[in-house]
Amino acid sequence: MELLTDPQVWIAFLTLTVLEIVLGIDNIVFISIVSSKLPEEQRAKARRVGLALALVTRILLLLSLSWMMKLTTPLFAPFGHEVSGRDLILLGGGLFLVYKAVMEIHTKLEGEEHGKHADGKATFASVIATILVLDVVFSLDSVITAIGMANDIPVMIAAVVVAVIVMLIFATPVSNFVEKHPTVKMLALSFLVLIGVNLVAEGWGQHIPKGYTYFAMAFAVGVEMLNLKMRAKGEAVRLRKEYEEG
């Protein structure tokens, strides 16, 4: 009851919830793109399972704080740079994300048939496995933020649950919008490359403020929205001319 009546707890909860939602945007984009490889009737289920796995992963990490703290212990020091378990997870996850995004971009540029020949037909299990791997990486970032923002495990878990529910609500509209506009999908894949590079840099000890990354992403989205509006207006003019001439 003391947690419910403490205004500082509510401030931490609301702030952390907003941050978790912002940090979860890249997760939604990744899940949307990966699930698009499946038949249409399986995509919504894949998104739900993917976000449910993200929720479970984050809660398990929050409940294993002692293990999380051990991840920061240096394991070895190549070229004089100390590398911890957390760094290895970020490096591996970042490289994996860059690889998947670049392969998807390559598929889009070369054509769907080329992509199918290269990667094989996606199955529900393979898509979920891919989502699970990246959920661990994204959850690590999210949990580290939660630990820094709040001191009470129940507050952290509540914020993560609310954030995932919000992500679940918006996952389908975001997926539909990305799938409907090919240029937006290419932009989203470029964001995943950017996020992957950031993870690799972070894993190698080069911290890049997230504000810079999110500003660049927001600016690019703003420009793309203007392009979409311009193309829609041009298409309307073209259809009106065809109607008048016909």
Question: Across the strands, what pairs with 84?
Answer: 74
pLDDT computed for residue 228 by the predictor: 87
pLDDT computed for residue 63 by the predictor: 81
pLDDT computed for residue 78 by the predictor: 81
Query: Where does the pLDDT of residue 148 fall: very low under 50, low under 70, confident under 90, or very high at 90 and above?
Result: low
Contact 50, 174 (CB under 8 A): no
- CB neighbourhood size of 243 (10 A): 8
pLDDT computed for residue 8 by the predictor: 76
pLDDT computed for residue 25 by the predictor: 78
For residue 119, pLDDT beyond 50: no
For residue 105, pLDDT beyond 60: yes
Rounded average pLDDT over 182-205 = 86
Residue with tokens 């496995």: 129
Beta strands in the chain (DSSP E): 74-76, 83-84
Query: What pLDDT digit, counting tens, does each position of 40-88 carry?
Result: 889 889 989 988 988 888 888 888 866 766 777 888 888 777 888 888 8
pLDDT computed for residue 147 by the predictor: 66
Please state, for a pLDDT cut of 90, what percent of the chain lies above it: 3
Q: What share of the chain is helix, strand, coil (3-state, %, to 5)?
A: 85, 0, 15
Query: What pLDDT digit, counting tens, does each position of 159-168 carry?
Result: 888 988 888 8
pLDDT computed for residue 226 by the predictor: 92
Rounded average pLDDT over 139-144 = 73
Minimum mean pLDDT range among 70-84, 139-153, 206-220: 139-153
For residue 183, pLDDT beyond 60: yes
Minimum mean pLDDT range among 120-124, 173-177, 213-217: 120-124
pLDDT computed for residue 117 by the predictor: 45
pLDDT computed for residue 112 by the predictor: 58
Q: What is the mean pLDDT of the chain?
A: 81
